[in-house]
Amino acid sequence: MEHTSIKQALDNESLTGTTVTVAGWVRTFRNDRFIALNDGSTIRNLQCVIDQEKVDATTRARFTTSAAVECTGVLVESKGSGQRVEMQVTELKVLGDSDGEKYPIQPKKHSLEFLRENAHLRFRTNTFSAVFRMRHQVSFGIHEYFDQEGYNYFHSPIITASDAEGAGEMFRVSTLDAKGPPLNDAGEVDWKEDFFGAESRLTVSGQLQAELGALALGKVYTFGPTFRAENSNTTRHLAEFWMIEPEAAFMDLKGDMDLAEGLCKHLIARVLKNSMDDLQFLDGRLKEEEATKPQAQRSEMGLIERLKFVLEDPFERITYDDAINILLRSKPYQKKQFQFPVEWGIDLQSEHERYLVEKHFKKPVIVTGYPAQIKAFYMRTNAPGDFGYSEKGKTVAAMDVLFPGIGEIIGGSQREERLDVLEARMKDMNVPAEELDWYLDTRRFGTVPHAGFGLGLERFVLFVTGMGNIRDVIPFPRFPGGAEF
Ligand code: ATP
Ligand code: MN
């Protein structure tokens, strides 16, 4: 079957006046004459005008919401407003009926909660089709950016026998009988009997493997599913999400920040160029949603405005020390409005991150030089003169990129390349060196400065779509208590 996409039919002016065949799903059927047809290629519908005399009433009764229909006809300049062309249908086929009484998604506004419960059908709505077309644009843009920058797509494993990364709680992968697993002499589960001969889990990060790749290929990035069993029922956490982790040899923290900022801007420029229809729709959706909120909680900018703003301005780069000082002087701190305490040594909470971004700097912020005790073992220890060095305590060359509405969107660092410093740090943090001997080999044989970061795909998609819940920007969300569909 040769079909013209509805996007083509609407945009390709050379098709006007010609006969084409389109196929899609009925959005609405008005006045017994006008079918608004959508095939997912664009958020816009093609108005297909039928000749009542040629289509009998029984057939017309089948143009219910979400019925699949194929229409052939001439594309003519539209008399109605809102579209450039419409189709004068000459031939018509119902490909798949949709029982209007039973179809759960009607042409009216449904709540996002309702649509989440019907997540298998929500792609047929304007909102979700826009979100998932944009998710594609962002994903593709990530490959495009790293390819342009000379990075190799490097596939890190999903199953891992090392839990040393410490980025989060892990899911176990096992083929042992859950009811009566083999036990060792101490009466504990004998993982040697398990499929991989060792206790194995789903990865929380591909970084350690990416470092191995970077220290041979120079520049690599991973882009794959990542799993965290943390019981966080927030609007920013999933149990299964997609993470992008570039890693580059001979790159320092400054280069890492530049790469992160460059990536964010590349992706924003790409969606502004390729997704304007979807963005305009989502911008309107967000405005409606904002209007229901009290004045004080409304954001000052619309979606498209916000994207342009982030694209045009350099991100603010500050140290953790600066961040703490700003928070201590802030109104919400002095009025005791923060839920979590603020003092040197704390991990910044999302409320603190959002204050810095939304209220203080009003633009994305990159914070560097976090206290060593709250960051992973592989981050490089700062010395006097390093950006992010602090008199207050030991800091590492970490950098978090904070975004409006979201908080942390990227977490990265320059890695500790000095074997002795790294080993001492691992000992301090009780990271078992024996298990990571393969990792330490990179520091034994031709070690060099290197750096990288992790970007959560869904957090970025939240930002560019203006959606509020991370469960709405991944096709099939997995979260505590939910793995349906
Ligand atoms: P947070 O403190 O926000 O939970 P994190 O510091 O644990 O995040 P990292 O280990 O630094 O996260 O992971 C790198 C990036 O992966 C984060 O900046 C974020 O964009 C994303 N990310 C982390 N955990 C999740 C999750 N559970 N669901 C979705 N994205 C996540
Ligand atoms: Mn982080």
Distance 452 CA to ligand 1 centre (A): 15
Distance 64 CA to ligand 2 centre (A): 48
Q: Is the CB of 473 under 6 A from ligand 1?
A: no
Name the pLDDT band for 2 (thresholds 50, 70, 90).
confident
Question: What residues does each domain of the chain span?
Answer: 6-103, 126-168+204-472, 169-201
Most ligand 1 atoms within 8 A of CB, residue of 227, 459, 462 to mutate? 459
Mean pLDDT for the chain overall: 94
Q: Is the CB of 410 under 6 A from ligand 1?
A: yes
pLDDT of residue 197: 93
CATH number for the domain running over 6-103: 2.40.50.140
pLDDT of residue 182: 87
Q: Is the CB of 241 under 6 A from ligand 1?
A: yes
Flag the least confident range among 158-167, 184-193, 205-214, 360-369.
Answer: 158-167
User: Which ligand 1 atom is the nearest neighbour of the CA of 454?
Assistant: 14
Q: What is the pLDDT of residues 365-423, one digit of tens each?
A: 999 999 999 999 999 999 999 999 999 999 999 999 999 989 999 999 999 999 999 99
pLDDT of residue 161: 87
pLDDT of residue 104: 84
Which ligand does the CA of 240 lie closest to? 1
pLDDT of residue 61: 93
Tell which wins on pLDDT, 482 or 389: 389
Q: What is the pLDDT of residues 234-253, one digit of tens each?
A: 999 999 999 999 999 999 99
Quick one: average pLDDT of 189-194?
A: 92
Name the pLDDT band for 219 (thresholds 50, 70, 90).
very high
Distance 8 CA to ligand 1 centre (A): 39
Quick one: average pLDDT of 330-341?
A: 95
pLDDT of residue 164: 61
Which ligand does the CA of 228 lie closest to? 1
Q: Is the CB of 402 under 6 A from ligand 1?
A: no
Residue 168 has pLDDT above 70, yes or no: yes
pLDDT of residue 323: 97
Which ligand does the CA of 245 lie closest to? 1
Tell which wins on pLDDT, 411 or 178: 411
Name the pLDDT band for 1 (thresholds 50, 70, 90).
low
Q: Ligand 1: which residue has its CA nearest to atom 7?
A: 167
Quick one: average pLDDT of 81-88?
A: 89
Residue 321 has pLDDT above 70, yes or no: yes
Q: Is the CB of 411 under 6 A from ligand 1?
A: yes
Which ligand does the CA of 454 lie closest to? 1
The tokens for 117 are: 């419960």
Flag the least confident range among 120-134, 204-218, 290-304, 389-403.
Answer: 290-304
Distance 454 CA to ligand 2 centre (A): 8
pLDDT of residue 180: 82
CATH number for the domain running over 126-168+204-472: 3.30.930.10
User: Which ligand 1 atom is the nearest neighbour of the CA of 347?
Assistant: 2
Distance 363 CA to ligand 2 centre (A): 19
Name the pLDDT band for 166 (thresholds 50, 70, 90).
low
Q: What is the pLDDT of residues 90-111, one digit of tens each?
A: 999 999 999 988 888 877 778 8
Distance 457 CA to ligand 1 centre (A): 10
Q: Ligand 1: which residue has its CA nearest to atom 21?
A: 456
